[in-house]
């Protein structure tokens, strides 16, 4: 069974050396007395033990056994319940939660590193607490004080879990056509009726209560998405003193049989006049839910990085050990019948692609986490607003690019193993299956691309893009010796394509949809180029201190800039081909 060892050295490099997070935390009053470098390192060390020693050993057995449903009751695989109890005792669910209600109040820059470890160790296990953390975020941001004080403490403790109940069988991404209804009651509560599908952790045996956040419409609600409200619907009713009472009118009709994440219960949830409580304002539920959805989108993006890291670790170990053929330059392991396959150019191409994209993603996740921390904690209004704009711009990039390239990396990892990669015992085929869902849920990657180009670039005339570009350009000019020129060239390509699309969108209705996926990937490679330039600048200055680590970082940066960043050339060409080639066939010709 493959092991997982958290990449702590690289995580510390990104957090402390590239982004100098402790310096940032020290100047943000809300974080200054909460976390410092030593605290962060202690948390990362403990997280590595929990994920590697407690969760990773359950990953394969959990996949083979899967979650089970019988007469409305869901049972998680053997060992999950005990592991979850140990996990929650450590306070991990509330790691970045509001301290006023029992959370640890850790910064997002630190939380993203923990989330990567969690997904790498076991995506199915990770999802149970990921949905709880997201639900807590929405409740904390939008619910009444009464709801927050009642529900947040036991959720942060892990005694209660959370779920996100959005879509329905007929609706898919189009939430404006949901049919779930909420009838107001005399006591201020609501009766919620409807059926929701694809509900992660909607039912399970890990916690004593599950708090469902449900999108529904009031009887007089406007049509479409402007008529959606958000409701808190507990599985078990909660008394005024916080004690558990009777079961609410909520039930699990079935669970899905899936390609991957089989130990995660993906439920059909039925609400039959269930008691619920309004979160936020009437008909403003989608905006409130997006607080949770944006959190989950970054989190699910990190699932792509975590799975890729797990795949990379196994692939490297295998490539160092597996003997097959001789190196093109002649025998390397002369005392053996053949050389380890890591000597072969194509194996190195795959491993370096995995390494470059995973480490670039790790840095970019930390960067987005930094913007989230500034948006939440910065005292300066301009700094906070700029960070908010960058979060809005970069979240769809993070979700989609992390997961698209995460699948690519997992497929590379499987390929390194050859035929053994297709066999269950090595773990690579499970990673391919598990990571695949990350491109689909929390808004498909095609929707993320439309959001990026249509809403975050075209709709505001590229204002947020200019903010990001100004930061990247300034760094490129200041660091010409470490890939500044190549970074600037890639940035200018992104800006030129963006300007061209802004003009195209004025007269061509299909322009945004036709270019959006390629545009997001172009943006992703430029963002990673910025990350690699920043990492290379630090590594170059410190190379003499640790040649193995910093020299390896510089060699990987060279591979990224010379072998991966040129992908932007073909992406630009594809975008500039326009929408016409997509409409050369009539529907009946497909």
- Predicted confidence (pLDDT) per residue in 507-520, tens digit: 999 999 999 999 99
Distance CA 467, CA 488 (A): 15
Catalytic residue at 33?
no
Q: Give, for 213, the enclosing helix (H) or strand (E).
A: strand 209-216
Token pair 């932007």: residue: 568
Residue 76 has pLDDT above 70, yes or no: yes
User: Residue 204: left if φ>0, alpha if ψ -120 to 50, beta else—which one?
Assistant: beta
User: Residue 268: left if φ>0, alpha if ψ -120 to 50, beta else—which one?
Assistant: beta
Q: What is the mean pLDDT of residues 552-565?
A: 98
Residue 103 has pLDDT above 80, yes or no: yes
Contacts of residue 497, Cβ cutoff 8 Å, sequence gap at least 6: 519, 522, 572, 575, 576
Best CA proximity match to 315, nearest among 270, 346, 280, 279: 346
Distance CA 156, CA 203 (A): 18
Query: Would you give the distance in Å from CA 101 to the centre of its chain?
Result: 25
The answer to whether 180 touches 168, Cβ cutoff 8 Å, is yes
Contacts of residue 389, Cβ cutoff 8 Å, sequence gap at least 6: 463, 464, 467
Q: What is the mean pLDDT of residues 540-558?
A: 97
In whole numbers, what is the pLDDT of the chain averaged over residues?
96
Distance CA 487, CA 529 (A): 6
Distance CA 57, CA 551 (A): 33
Distance CA 404, CA 408 (A): 7
The predicted structure's pLDDT at residue 118: 98
Distance CA 436, CA 455 (A): 26
The pLDDT confidence band at residue 1, using thresholds 50, 70 and 90, is low
Say how many residues make up the chain: 590
The answer to whether 348 touches 320, Cβ cutoff 8 Å, is no
The pLDDT confidence band at residue 199, using thresholds 50, 70 and 90, is very high
Q: The tokens of 316 are what?
A: 């490297």
The predicted structure's pLDDT at residue 296: 73
Q: What is the mean pLDDT of residues 548-570?
A: 98
Distance CA 177, CA 171 (A): 6
Query: Which letter does DSSP use for residue 443 in this model?
Result: S
CA-angle at 136, arms to 23 and 63, nearest 5°: 100
Please provide residue 233's backbone torsions phi and psi, each rounded to the nearest 5 degrees: -125, 105
pTM of the predicted structure, to 2 decimals: 0.97
Q: What is the mean pLDDT of residues 420-424?
A: 97
Distances from the Cα of 435 to the Cα of 76, 302, 518, 520, angstroms: 20, 10, 21, 19
The pLDDT confidence band at residue 162, using thresholds 50, 70 and 90, is very high
Q: Where does 143-196 have alpha helices with state H?
A: 145-157
The predicted structure's pLDDT at residue 438: 97
Sort 42 into a burial class: Cβ within 10 Å, 0-12 / 13-18 / 19+.
Answer: exposed
The answer to whether 505 touches 511, Cβ cutoff 8 Å, is yes
Query: Which letter does DSSP use for residue 427 in this model?
Result: S
**Active site residue: 442, 471, 489, 508, which one?**
442
Counting residues of the chain whose pLDDT is more than 70, the rounded percentage is 99
Residue 289 has pLDDT above 90, yes or no: no
Q: Return the beta strands (E) in 142-243 as ranges.
A: 160-165, 181-184, 190-200, 209-216, 229-234, 236-238
Q: Positive or negative CA dihedral for 174, 437, 442, 508?
A: negative
Q: The tokens of 522 are what?
A: 């172009």
Q: Positive or negative CA dihedral for 536, 539, 541, 547?
A: negative
pLDDT, one tens digit per residue, over 453-493 is 999 999 999 999 999 999 999 999 999 988 999 999 999 99
Residue 290 has pLDDT above 70, yes or no: yes
Q: Positive or negative CA dihedral for 104, 110, 114, 119?
A: positive
The predicted structure's pLDDT at residue 292: 67
């Amino acid at each position: 069974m493959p092991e997982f060892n958290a990449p702590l050295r690289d995580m510390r490099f990104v957090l402390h050396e590239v982004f100098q997070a402790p310096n940032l935390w020290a100047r943000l009053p809300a974080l200054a007395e909460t976390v410092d470098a030593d605290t962060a390192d202690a948390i990362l060390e403990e997280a590595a033990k929990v994920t590697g020693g407690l969760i990773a050993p359950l990953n394969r057995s959990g996949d083979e056994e899967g979650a089970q449903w019988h007469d409305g009751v869901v049972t998680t695989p053997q060992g999950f319940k005990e592991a979850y109890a140990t996990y929650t005792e450590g306070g991990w669910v509330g790691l970045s939660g509001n301290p006023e209600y029992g959370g640890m109040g850790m910064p997002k820059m630190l939380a993203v590193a923990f989330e990567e470890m969690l997904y790498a160790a076991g995506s199915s296990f990770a999802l149970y607490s990921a949905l709880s953390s997201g639900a807590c975020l929405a409740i904390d941001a939008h619910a009444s004080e009464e709801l927050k004080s009642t529900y947040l403490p036991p959720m942060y403790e892990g005694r209660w879990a959370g779920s996100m109940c959005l879509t329905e069988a007929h609706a898919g991404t189009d939430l404006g056509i949901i049919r779930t209804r909420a009838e107001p009651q005399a006591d201020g509560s609501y009766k919620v009726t409807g059926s929701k599908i694809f509900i992660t952790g909607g039912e399970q045996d890990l916690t004593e209560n599950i708090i469902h956040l449900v999108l529904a419409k009031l009887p007089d609600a406007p049509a479409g998405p402007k008529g959606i409200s958000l409701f808190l619907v507990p599985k078990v009713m909660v008394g005024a003193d916080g004690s558990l009472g009777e079961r609410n009118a909520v039930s699990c009709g079935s669970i899905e049989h899936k390609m991957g994440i089989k130990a995660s219960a993906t439920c059909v949830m039925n609400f039959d006049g269930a008691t619920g409580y309004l979160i936020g304002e009437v008909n403003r539920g989608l905006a409130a839910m997006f607080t949770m959805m944006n959190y989950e989108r970054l989190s699910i993006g990190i699932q792509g990085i975590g799975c890729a890291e797990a795949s990379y670790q196994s692939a490297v170990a295998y490539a160092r050990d597996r003997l097959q053929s001789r190196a093109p330059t002649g025998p390397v392991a002369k005392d053996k019948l053949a050389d380890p396959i890591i000597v072969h150019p194509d194996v190195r191409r795959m491993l370096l692609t995995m390494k470059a994209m995973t480490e670039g993603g790790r840095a970019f996740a930390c960067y987005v986490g930094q913007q989230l921390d500034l948006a939440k904690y910065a005292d300066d209004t301009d700094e906070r607003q700029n960070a908010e704009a960058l979060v809005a711009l970069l979240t769809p990039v993070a979700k989609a690019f992390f997961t698209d390239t995460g699948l690519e990396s997992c497929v590379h990892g499987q390929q390194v193993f050859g035929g053994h990669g297709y066999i269950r015992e090595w773990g690579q085929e499970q990673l391919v299956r598990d990571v695949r869902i990350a491109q689909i849920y929390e808004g498909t990657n095609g929707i993320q691309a439309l959001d990026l180009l249509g809403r975050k670039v075209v709709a505001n005339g590229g204002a947020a893009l200019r903010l990001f570009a100004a930061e990247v350009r300034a760094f490129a000019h200041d660091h010409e010796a470490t890939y500044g020129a190549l970074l600037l060239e890639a940035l200018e390509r992104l800006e030129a394509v963006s300007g061209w699309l802004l003009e195209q969108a004025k007269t061509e209705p299909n322009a945004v949809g036709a270019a959006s996926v390629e545009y997001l990937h172009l943006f992703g490679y430029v963002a990673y180029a910025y990350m690699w330039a920043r990492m290379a600048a630090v590594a170059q200055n410190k190379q003499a201190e640790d040649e193995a680590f910093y020299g390896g970082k510089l060699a990987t940066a060279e591979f990224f800039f010379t072998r991966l960043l040129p992908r932007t050339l073909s992406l630009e060409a594809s975008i500039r081909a326009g929408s016409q080639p997509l409409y050369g066939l009539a529907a009946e010709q497909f």
